[in-house]
Amino acid sequence: MIPRKLREYWLLIASYYFYMGWNAKYALLIGSSTAITYVSGLLLDRADHTKEERAGKLQKKLVLAACMAVNLGILAVFKYGNFAINSVNYILSKIHVSAVERRFDLLLPVGISFYTFQALGYIMDVYRNDVEVEKNPVRYALFVSFFPQLVAGPIERSKNLLNQMRSIDQIQVWDAKRVASGGIFMVWGLFMKMVIADRIAIPVDTVFNNFRMYGGTEIALAAVGFAIQIYCDFGSYSMIAIGAAKVMGFQLMENFNTPYFAVGIRDFWGRWHISLSTWFRDYLYIPLGGNRRGKFRKAVNIMIVFLTSGLWHGADWSFVLWGGIHGFYQVIEDVTEKFRNKLWKSMNVKTDCFSWKFLQMAVTFVLVVFAWIFFRADSIRDALGVIKRIVICQTPWVLLDGEIYNLGLDRIEMNILIVSLVILFLVDLVRYLKKQTLDVFLMSQNLWFEWFAVIGLIVMIFIFGEYGPTFDPQQFIYFQF
């Protein structure tokens, strides 16, 4: 209803209102990050037009380094201050030296890792001359704070989102097909979160919070359950963000593409949290040298990227170890690739059939679930305890004696979960086989089928969604990162 020229102002106000609804004070933090990167972009552009080329290059390097240092410094203080102090105290305790007393009493700002990386991605794009510098401060502030994906991604690129915002006055708001498509994304995201993620979280939390009371089978099922929980929880936010943006006429990048159909760890990271994995590829792995400096340097670069990714996810050594495990997986996968291909060929193994692909998916899934244990456990010691229980305390009879119905969900709730998981599997199977997102698939069907599916999902959300006065609200897992 407002004039086209006021759209970016209205969305900026809406975005800051949205963020301040959580904690008004921390709007100053995102505002500061925005101002620093905006001015840095202008300085980089100015350095590009310096008459003396050598001086201009030096200025650009200094501006980039200063901008990175300030923004990563802010991130470090709020997210890693106490982690660093605790780590130093642990080392000091081992050599019998008094501990550092000072701790940071700071609330971790929601989404700080996401909007910091998005802003730094823009600065590096400007530094490389991959995008034109944005001189409109309102438009740039909107790019950093755009509310659908502000607090949990996708981490957008300036080449995609900022370029769309530059033509915001040309968006046709009332596009029924596009609005319907965005609505389908949002409904599916709500289904993944409220019907699946928040329901499966109950047995997962029950087992992991008291893992010493359960046998190996229950713990293994909980580990698989967490793999599904974090996919549905994080994937649902991305779906809702993509859908909300699409309703308003913006196309965000896909963040998940059937990750548990991956046939290898490299393939998994091409499907899981795509916006982050490609960010690390473009702004860390390639600048480090990528695969251009030999096998050993490639392996080192992979490990640096994944250890950094683990640290990005959380200020705890268990997250760093989780990242390291995935880095180790990728290094082994890369180093042994030629040997494995020769081995399968010498053994006459058929590698172009369903059974081989299914085996690859199963092995990849097991490896990913194993790594998730370190992500979910409260500490590395607890993670090792969980693994030990799985290995030495086998209790397969719980699958037959009804014991799984004593993990927080009764028989009816467990059956609802099973039906929901079947629906999730079918939707992902369509995405995997037909290469179509749910909205494209449904809108290519007859109208009765499309409406039946969408209304059916909405009804299931209202009837079977986990909410209400007796429900303990489950925040999105990635809000803490």
Whole-number pLDDT of residue 99: 63
pTM of the model: 0.91
Q: Percentage of residues in the chain with pLDDT exceeding 90? A: 69
Whole-number pLDDT of residue 119: 95
pLDDT tens per residue, range 377-428: 988 999 999 999 999 888 788 777 778 888 888 889 999 999 999 999 999 9
- 313 counts as catalytic: yes
With a cut of 90, say whether residue 197 has pLDDT above it. Answer: yes
**Catalytic-labelled residue, pool 96, 273, 313, 326:** 313
With a cut of 70, say whether residue 211 has pLDDT above it. Answer: yes
Rank 37-51, 402-416, 449-463 by mean pLDDT and report only the highest.
Answer: 449-463
Cα separation, 301 vs 293, whole angstroms:
10
What Cα–Cα distance (Å) separates residue 163 from each residue in 251, 277, 363?
11, 22, 41
Give 268-297 as a DSSP string.
Answer: HHTTSSHHHHHHHIIIIITTTTTTSS-HHH
Binned at pLDDT 50, 70 and 90, residue 122 comes out as: very high
Whole-number pLDDT of residue 474: 66
pLDDT tens per residue, range 221-273: 999 999 999 999 999 999 999 999 999 999 999 999 999 999 999 999 999 99
Lowest pLDDT segment from 159-163, 193-197, 477-481 = 477-481
Q: Mean pLDDT score of the chain, rounded to an integer? A: 90
With a cut of 70, say whether residue 96 has pLDDT above it. Answer: no
Q: Copy the structure tokens of residue 264.
A: 């290898």
With a cut of 90, say whether residue 103 has pLDDT above it. Answer: no
What is the mean predicted confidence (pLDDT) over 453-462?
A: 95
Binned at pLDDT 50, 70 and 90, residue 64 comes out as: very high
pLDDT tens per residue, range 157-182: 999 999 999 999 898 888 999 999 99
What Cα–Cα distance (Å) separates residue 335 from each residue in 309, 329, 338, 427?
21, 10, 8, 34
Binned at pLDDT 50, 70 and 90, residue 315 comes out as: confident
